[in-house]
Amino acid sequence: MATQVILTGYILEDSPKLSLIELCEHCHTQKKAMIKLVDHGIISPCKGQTVSQWRFESHSLMRANKALQLKHDLGINFAGIALALELMDEIDSLRIALQCNNSALQKAS
Amino acid sequence: MEYKDYYNILGIERSAQKGDIKRAYRKLARKYHPDVSKEDNAEAKFKEVNEAYEVLKDQEKRDAYDLLGENGQYGQYSSEGFQPPPNWQDNVDFSSGGYTDSNKHDFSSFFADLFGHSHAGASPSSGQTYNSKGDNIRAKVSIDLEDSINNTTRSFTLQMPEMDASGQVTNQQRTLKVKIPKGIKAGQTIRLAKQGSAGIGDAPAGDLLLEIAFNEHQIYKVDGSDIYLNLPVTPWELALGAKIKIPTPTGKVGITIPANSQQGRKLRLKGRGLPSKQAGDFYVVLQVSIPPSTDPKAKMLYEQMQKELDYNPRSYLF
C-alpha cells in the first residue's frame, strides 16, 4: 500500500501565459501543427503580433490537447476539429441550460 | 491475464477485410471518444476499441493474434488466467514494434504481455544516454461543488501506467489524495507536476492533468463560476414580497423577494458563487408553487379570485 501523500496542484487555466514553443512542448507536438490550430481558430493567442511573440492563455493547452487527440484518434482534419469543438461547446452550454430548466419544471410540478 | 476478443470488440467477423476493420474502428472511436461521448464507461470502451484496432490493423500482429485461435482456444488457462500456446513467441514477429502510434498507457495487460515486448527493443541500445521527459497523463475526475468551495482533499483511484524492470508498461491502479484548489470550475484542470509517466534517463516525469467535472448536485446547478438555486415560493410571496431564508453552499442567507415579482425572476447575490479572483454570483430563480385546490380553503380562495379579479394572462394572444 503506497503512502498517502496529499498532492497539491494548481489550476492549469490560472497559470501564466505560454509561448508557442512551451505549448508545443506540453502537447508533444510540432510548431507546424500548433500554427494550424491557430489558423483554424481552434486556439488563439491572447497577445503578440508575430508567431515568436505569440502568448497563449493556459486553457489553450487543454484545448490544443483535445484537438490533437481528436485528430489522432478519429482522423479528422483541422476544419472538422474546429467545427466539432464548437458544436461540443454548444452542446455543453445547452446541457447546462436544460438541466436548470428541467429541475425548475420538476420543482413546479 | 484475461483473453480479449478483439474481433468481438470491433463487432466484426474474423474474416473481415482491412477496410471493414477501419470502418468499424472509426465508427466506434467516434461513439466512445472520451472527449465526445457522454456514455458511461466511454473511456474504458474507447481504450478497448483502440487496442483491438492496434492489433487488427497490423497484419503481423493480427496473424500472431489469430494463432491464439477463436476465443483463445489454443491458449492455456491456469490460475494466472490466459497464456498463449507454448512456443507462440517463436512463431510471431512484429517488425513494426508492439506499440505504434497509439498511447501505450491505455492498453490492457493482455496486449502488453503478447505484444509489448518488442517495445522494449525499441528503446536505445545500452551505453547510450537518452533522456526524455515523461508523458503527461490526462484523466477526468468528478468532485462535488462543495469540494471546490471548501478546498477539501479528495481521493481518486486512477489507472496509471507503470514500467516494470523489463521495460514493459502496464496499467496499475493508483490512489491519489489531492487537495482541490479553491474555486476550481467544471472543465478546468488540476495540474499535478511530475505525477505523470516516468521520464527516461535523468529526465523528469510528466504531469498528471486532472480534468474536473462536478457531480450533479441535489439543489444547486453550476454554470461556470455562477451557482443557481431554483427556489419554490408561494403566489402571495411573489405578489406581496417576502423576507425568507435560503440555503447557499456556505450557509443560510436571508433574502428579500421584491413585491410584484413574477415566476422565473432571478435574484442575484453578488460574489456568492464559486470563489476566485473574480468570484461567481449566486442566483435565486423564483419558482411559483401553487397550493393544491384539493384543500377546501384554497379552493374557496381561488373561486373568490376568479369572481373578483379581472385578470387575463392570455390577452396578448388575441
What one-letter code names the amino acid at B240?
A: L
User: What sign does the CA torsion over B156, B161, B165, B168 have?
Assistant: positive
H/E stretch holding B110 reads: helix B109-115
In a domain, A2, yes or no: no
Cell numbers that stand for B70 in this block: 477463436
Decide if pLDDT at B248 tops 50.
yes
The domain containing residue A31 runs over which residues?
Answer: 15-108
Q: Do B211 and A15 touch (CB under 8 A)?
A: no
H/E stretch holding A6 reads: strand A6-8
Report the chain B residue with the minimal C-alpha distance to residue A84: B36
- Name chain A contacts of B264, Cβ cutoff 8 Å: 104
pLDDT at A3: 57
Q: Which of B30, B184, B208 sits opposite A74 (nearest CB)?
A: B30
| Cα(B51)–Cα(B35) distance, integer angstroms | 18
Indicate the average pLDDT of chain B: 84
Is residue B269 within 8 Å of residue B284, measured between CB atoms?
Answer: yes
Q: For A27, phi and psi rounded to 5 degrees?
A: -90, 0
The class (CATH top level) of B6-121 is mainly alpha
Write the CB contacts of B312 (distance below 8 Å, at least 6 apart in sequence).
none
How many other C-beta atoms lie within 10 A of the C-beta of residue A94? Answer: 10
pLDDT at B102: 58
Report the chain A residue with the minimal C-alpha distance to residue B193: A9
CA B1, B7, B13 angle in degrees (round to 5)?
150
How many other C-beta atoms lie within 10 A of the C-beta of residue B191? Answer: 22
In a domain, A7, yes or no: no
- Name chain A contacts of B153, Cβ cutoff 8 Å: 6
- Count helices and strands in chain A by DSSP H and E runs: 4, 4
Task: State the number of CA atoms in the 13 A half-sphere of B238 facing the CB.
Answer: 17
Decide if pLDDT at B167 tops 70.
no
Q: Where in chain B is the domain with CATH 1.10.287.110?
A: 6-121
**The residue to which cell 470563489 is assigned:** B275
Report the chain B residue with the minimal C-alpha distance to residue A15: B191
pLDDT at B243: 97
DSSP state of A109: -
How many other C-beta atoms lie within 10 A of the C-beta of residue B253? Answer: 14
Report the chain B residue with the minimal C-alpha distance to residue A100: B221
Q: Which fold has domain B137-214?
A: HSP40/DNAj peptide-binding domain (2.60.260)
**The residue to which cell 497509439 is assigned:** B102
pLDDT at B291: 94
Is residue B52 within 8 Å of residue B41, measured between CB atoms?
Answer: no
In a domain, A6, yes or no: no
Decide if pLDDT at B129 tops 90.
no
**The residue to which cell 494463432 is assigned:** B67
Decide if pLDDT at B127 tops 70.
no
Report the chain B residue with the minimal C-alpha distance to residue A25: B133
pLDDT digits (tens, 9 = 90+) for A67-107: 998 998 888 899 999 999 999 889 888 887 787 777 666 65
Separation in Å, CA of B75 to nearest CA in chain A: 31
- Name chain B contacts of A87, Cβ cutoff 8 Å: none
| Cα(A83)–Cα(A79) distance, integer angstroms | 6
| Cα(B175)–Cα(B159) distance, integer angstroms | 9
If contacts are CB pairs under 8 Å, which of residues 15-74 in chain A contact chain B? 15, 26, 28, 59, 62, 65-66, 69-70, 72-74
In a domain, A82, yes or no: yes
In a domain, A75, yes or no: yes
CATH of B220-317, one of 2.60.260.20, 3.90.15.10, 3.40.50.2300, 1.10.240.10: 2.60.260.20
What one-letter code names the amino acid at B175?
A: T
A10 three-class SS:
strand
In a domain, A52, yes or no: yes
What number of C-beta contacts closer than 8 Å exist between A and B?
A: 95
State the CATH number of the domain containing residue A38. 1.10.1660.10
pLDDT at B118: 46
Average pLDDT over residues B219-238: 94
- Name chain B contacts of A65, Cβ cutoff 8 Å: 138
B161 three-class SS:
strand
Counted domains in chain A:
1
pLDDT at B124: 44
pLDDT at A86: 92
Is residue B226 within 8 Å of residue B280, measured between CB atoms?
Answer: yes
Q: How confident is the model at residue B123 (pLDDT cuts 50, 70, 90)?
A: very low
Beta partners for residue A8, in sequence order = B179
Q: Which of B235, B227, B236, B225 is nearest to B279 (CA)?
A: B225
- Name chain B contacts of A13, Cβ cutoff 8 Å: 188-189
Q: Where in chain B is the domain with CATH 2.60.260.20?
A: 137-214, 220-317
Separation in Å, CA of A53 to nearest CA in chain B: 25
pLDDT digits (tens, 9 = 90+) for A7-64: 888 888 888 888 999 889 888 889 999 999 999 999 999 988 899 899 998 788 889 9
H/E stretch holding A36 reads: helix A31-39
CA B105, B27, B51 angle in degrees (round to 5)?
25
